[in-house]
A = this chain, B = another copy of it.
Amino acid sequence: MIARVTVYPRREILDPQGKAIRDALARVGFADVLEVRAGKSFEIRLQQEDRELALRELREMCRKLLANTVVEDYAVEILNGDRP
């Protein structure tokens, strides 16, 4: 099973990287961009075939290692083999 974990800085927290990217995009002509949040994405291949168990395990990974919940939020998706 293939899953994707996305980790973003928490909404209310300063995201200097996102801000720098937005400013740079504006400088090169993408004036259309209102906001950028810059985070991490992990594509994870698991042995687990059960969707629910996999989700549970992934959330556990986020709490334990992939995300720092003091400053980051995370989201977990199952990709069902079709990667973007």
Interface residues in chain A, defined as those with a beta carbon under 8 Å from any beta carbon in chain B: 4, 6-8, 18, 21, 24-25, 28, 30, 32-48, 57, 60-61, 64-66, 75-77, 83-84
Question: Looking across the interface, which residue of chain B has its beta carbon closest to that of A4?
Answer: B6
Interchain nearest-CB distance for A41 vs B (Å): 4
Question: Looking across the interface, which residue of chain B has its beta carbon closest to that of A21?
Answer: B42
List 11 additional A-B contacts (Cβ < 8 Å) besides A25-B65, A40-B41. Answer: A21-B66, A28-B64, A32-B47, A32-B48, A33-B44, A36-B42, A37-B42, A37-B43, A38-B40, A38-B42, A39-B40
Q: Say whether B61 contacts A30, CB under 8 Å.
A: yes
Secondary structure dominating the interface of A: strand
